């Protein structure tokens, strides 16, 4: 997780304690394989799908709803 937090700080100048994040500007998922689980990856993929699916980028709340849906239902 330390590596992911370091990348986030490098890109955005903020100290965080994330184990994963999707960068809209880099169009890349950064994830700590050792610290995360399938649901975390599904959540970040939800952000990626929201970013790539819509012609006009939806508000962050929509991004988060899609990510949470993917996280909750990945094993359905």
Instruction: Give pLDDT tens digits for 24-62.
Output: 999 999 999 999 999 999 999 999 999 999 889 899 999
- Calculate the alpha carbon distances from 16 to 2, 5, 36, 56, 74 in Å: 9, 6, 16, 28, 26
pTM to 2 decimal places: 0.90
Residues written for the chain: 76
Q: What mean pLDDT is predicted for residues 10-27?
A: 96
CA angle 10, 34, 27 (to 5 degrees): 45
């Amino acid at each position: 997780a330390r590596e992911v937090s370091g990348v986030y700080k490098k890109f955005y100048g903020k100290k965080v304690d994330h184990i994963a994040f999707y960068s809209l500007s880099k169009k890349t998922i950064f994830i700590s394989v050792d610290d995360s689980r399938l649901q975390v990856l599904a959540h970040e993929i939800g952000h990626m799908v929201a970013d790539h699916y819509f012609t006009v980028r939806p508000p962050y709340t929509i991004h988060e709803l899609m990510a949470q849906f993917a996280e909750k239902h990945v094993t359905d």
